[in-house]
DNA sequence: TTGTAGGCGTTATCAC
DNA sequence: GTGATAACGCCTACAA
């Protein structure tokens, strides 16, 4: 068999001795609309199939100014919460005919900025992202241009950019309350990226819970700055070396809580007898740990699905979502890492 | 400021009253080669910057027949081994000017097939993938067309498709040997997807280790069929309910091992006193488990980096890699989930 | 040193 | 019912 040249519409048209327009119309499902004869339709479809024709999405995108491509920006896809989000988003996109361009920003604002530019150059139709943190002029500019963008997990303050996230404030409040109910008054706080909403909102919940129980806030009790296990490990060491050692640690991520657990182990502190521990994010194997970890579970699946659906609706309808935000409840999963504070401690 | 129309090369050319070709040449760094006057170069670059021009990669790709896009197919990105691979591959690609189109095939051959077609339609320059399993005519066809494709973790038998993987046979052999050395002779095997190389090679290592120690192979001892935790959970229940209960379980993935651990817990079997357990893949928090899990660690980072580099080299040079395969060593991490078999058991 | 024109593969518009 | 033709934005042989 002779090596076929690439099969294009022009190609098929020549072979069938008809014009490209007809081929295009038939192959993009508009045969009926143009009342093209049954016969030609059949002929075209058959040879297209035989030759293994598929449309060139590049050319199509260029012509239509619509690529059916979505940019997905995640701060760290090795973190299970983001890999879950990525998984469900990519699936939803694909099912709706969109391809996903992935960028892992590694929690780096500079990378995020570049990635945003890159996605623009590739003419994506929309963007789903968990921003690195704080303020981003770029993101706002994109949104202000009317470009479809929705945020997931993390979001930004002052604009109406649609987002789906968890009720971080309430979740943290509940968790800290759980600790307070167990008699803890010295509670360390392992924060995530400080100017990210999840971290700042959780801190707000922490402070409110303290205040509601007449426990003074001590800035020294707030440590760390990433949602990573090693960060939790280091921060826990700092906190647990204080002369007045905290009796409990509240962590903004489950992986940081695991890091803290490791620190405790190395410092010969028992969890929960010596230190109680609680972590945001569910952790699938929490119950298999030496001390099963009490967690504040997010609805991970709903985060990814909700956000991607919001974006798809936007792309579909051409209009941004009515209600710009969805906030999902969290759930406290009580396991064994929180104990009543012993009497020997104040 | 008046709303600008989209800024294109033509656009800039009109504004500067020069031709598009000059603009194109300058903006694609060929100013010097064409000996374009310093002045025009400067003028063009400045207004391009001022207007925020960036090239339309769609048009560029269409013209150049090269998109600087790579397809990344992963069977399950929520599995940490694949999210690690995805992370390092995406990073390597981006650093080299390539964007990554992600497809999570969910271990489904049908999805894989569709995804492959989709990537073709999008004119990706190359593909990095961990195939779902067994035989795939599509993958072979792609490779036989000379299209740049490299496999990672999982690979295929009979063709010279380049791949990077771990020494699954040796790793499994080492692990089973470790069990045998501790007196185990009834060893259950929790397999992954049976016709995937990692699973079949690990099974081969298991069988060889048994044979080398005069332990008869019993097909009933092989259970399961996915690399997932629930699959390990179910399979462990089956194995541990045998009249002649295995004294040890070898799992083809660490998550399946965790599932098995959960099954043990629910059946009131202690690990390792009643059942020894070993899992392929490192698990970052293995040491924090109630019973720290003994594992066979893969060089996860090297897998992703090696494979993506191999593909990048191919794209760069235009030629497939000299040596079609890289096989990385594994390492046995002895923790506490394997015990000497007690005398009461045969 | 700069400009012109054709084409990458598709689709929409208008004409027949 | 079908066919030319232009255009999407870019690059490059060929001309000047």
Amino acid B138: pLDDT:
87
Give the tens place of pLDDT for each residue, A97-115.
Answer: 999 999 999 999 999 999 9
Kindly list the residues from chain A whose CB atom is less than 8 angstroms away from the CB atom of residue B99. 101, 103, 118, 122
pLDDT by residue (tens digit) across B185-198?
999 999 999 999 99
User: Is the previous residue joined to A272 through a cis bond, with omega within 30 degrees of 0?
Assistant: yes
Q: Please tell me which of the candidates B91, B106, B289 has its beta carbon nearest to residue A288.
A: B289
Residue to test with chain A: of B57, B58, B335, most A Cβ within 10 A:
B58
pLDDT in tens, A70-84: 999 999 999 989 999
Is B61 near strand D, with its CB below 7 A from some atom of it? no
- Long-range contacts for B238-241 (Cβ within 8 Å, ≥24 apart)? B239/B188, B239/B190, B240/B188, B240/B264, B240/B267, B240/B269, B240/B275
pLDDT above 90 covers what percent of chain B? 84
Shortest CA distance to B178 belongs to which of B213, B153, B204?
A: B213
The model carries a pTM of: 0.94
Q: Which residue has better confidence, A5 or A274?
A: A274
Domains and CATH numbers, chain A: 9-55 (1.10.260), 66-166+300-328 (3.40.50.2300), 168-298+332-345 (3.40.50.2300)
Per-residue model confidence (pLDDT) at position B343: 54
Decide if pLDDT at B1 tops 50: no
Distance CA A323, CA A79 (A): 29
A84 touches B at CB < 8 Å:
yes
Q: What are the pLDDT digits (tens) for B202-220?
A: 999 999 999 999 999 999 9
Chain B contact set for A1 (CB, 8 A) = none
Q: Do A262 and B287 touch (CB under 8 A)?
A: yes
Cβ distance A94 to B115 less than 8 Å, yes or no, reads yes
Interface of B with A in 276-305 (CB under 8 A): 284-285, 287-290
* The pLDDT of residue A128: 98
Residue A313 CA to D9 C1' — how many Å?
A: 29
Q: Do B289 and A287 touch (CB under 8 A)?
A: no
Q: Within an 8 Å CB–CB cutoff, is residue B335 touching chain A? A: no
* Distances from the Cα of B233 to the Cα of A27, A88, A329, B289, B318, angstroms: 48, 24, 29, 16, 46
Give the pair of three-digit tokens for residue A110: 């500079």
B4 falls in which pLDDT band (50, 70, 90)? low
Q: Is the CB of A20 under 7 A from strand D?
A: yes
- The B 18-77 residues near strand C by Cβ under 7 Å are 18-22, 34-37, 39-40, 59, 62-63, 65
Nucleic strand C within 7 A of Cβ A55: yes
Give which of A28, A60, A99, A144 to mutate to test B binding, by max B Cβ within 10 Å. A99
Distance between CA atoms of residues B37 and B99, nearest Å: 34
Determine contact: A151 vs chain B, CB below 8 A. no
Could you tell me which chain A residue has the CA closest to the CA of B118? A99
B279-307 average pLDDT score: 95
Residues β-bridged to residue B328: B166
Name the token pair of B265. 């817990």
- The residue lying closest to nucleotide C2, measuring its CA against C1', is B22
- In this structure, the number of other CB atoms found within 10 A of the CB of residue A32 comes to 11
Residues of B in contact with A101 (CB under 8 A): 99-102
Shortest CA distance from A8: residue in chain B = B121
Give the model's pLDDT for residue B345: 46
User: Are A121 and B54 a contacting pair at CB < 8 A?
Assistant: yes
Please judge whether B78 and A80 are an interchain contact, meaning their C-beta atoms are less than 8 angstroms apart. Answer: yes
Among chain A residues, CA nearest to B61: A58
Yes or no, beta carbons of B99 and A104 under 8 Å apart: no
Res. A184 pLDDT band, cuts 50 70 90:
very high
Coil, strand or helix at B286 = helix
Distance measured from the CA of protein residue B8 to the C1' of nucleotide D8, in angstroms: 11
Q: Cβ distance B98 to B125 under 8 Å?
A: yes
pLDDT tens across A187-243, in order? Answer: 999 999 999 999 999 999 999 999 999 999 999 999 999 999 999 999 999 999 999
Q: Strand C contacts (CB < 7 A) among A residues 21-40? A: 21, 24, 27-28, 30
Put simply, whether A123 touches B (Cβ < 8 Å) is yes
Contacts of A54 in chain B (CB under 8 A): 117, 120-121
Does any strand C atom come closer than 7 Å to the Cβ of B102? Answer: no
DSSP B285: T
pLDDT band at A2 (very low <50, low <70, confident <90, very high): very low
pLDDT (tens digit per residue) in B14-70? 989 999 999 999 999 888 888 888 888 999 999 999 999 999 999 999 999 999 999
Q: Can you name the residues that pair with B333 across neighbouring β-strands?
A: B295
């Amino acid at each position: 068999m002779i090596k076929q040249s690439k099969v294009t519409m022009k190609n098929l048209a020549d072979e069938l001795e008809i014009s490209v327009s007809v081929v295009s119309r038939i192959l993009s499902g508009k045969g009926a609309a143009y009342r093209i004869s049954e016969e030609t339709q059949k002929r075209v479809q058959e040879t297209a199939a035989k030759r293994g024709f598929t449309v060139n999405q590049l050319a199509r995108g260029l012509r239509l100014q619509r690529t059916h491509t979505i940019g997905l920006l995640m701060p760290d896809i090795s973190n299970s919460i983001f890999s879950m989000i990525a998984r469900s988003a990519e699936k939803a996109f694909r099912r709706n005919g969109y391809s996903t361009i992935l960028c892992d920003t590694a929690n780096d604002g500079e990378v995020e900025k570049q990635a945003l530019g890159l996605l623009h150059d590739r003419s994506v139709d929309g963007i789903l992202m968990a921003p690195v943190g704080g303020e981003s002029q770029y993101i706002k500019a994109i949104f202000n241009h009317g470009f479809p963008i929705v945020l997931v997990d993390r979001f930004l303050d002052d604009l109406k950019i649609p987002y789906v996230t968890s009720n971080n404030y309430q979740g943290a409040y509940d968790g800290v309350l759980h600790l307070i109910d167990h008699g803890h008054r010295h509670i360390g706080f392992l924060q995530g990226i400080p100017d990210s909403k999840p971290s700042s909102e959780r801190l707000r919940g922490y402070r409110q819970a303290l205040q509601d129980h007449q426990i003074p806030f001590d800035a020294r009790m707030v440590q760390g700055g990433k949602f990573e296990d090693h960060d939790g490990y280091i921060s826990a060491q700092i906190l647990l070396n204080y002369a007045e050692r905290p009796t409990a640690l509240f962590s903004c991520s489950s992986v940081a809580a695991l890091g803290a657990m490791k620190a405790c182990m190395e410092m010969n502190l028992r969890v929960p007898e010596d230190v109680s521990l609680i972590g945001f994010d569910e952790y699938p194997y929490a119950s298999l740990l030496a001390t099963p970890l009490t967690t504040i579970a997010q609805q991970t699946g709903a985060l990814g699905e909700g956000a991607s659906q919001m974006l798809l609706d936007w792309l579909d309808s051409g209009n941004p979502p009515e209600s710009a935000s969805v906030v999902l409840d969290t759930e406290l999963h009580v396991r064994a890492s929180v104990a009543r504070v012993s009497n020997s401690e104040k």
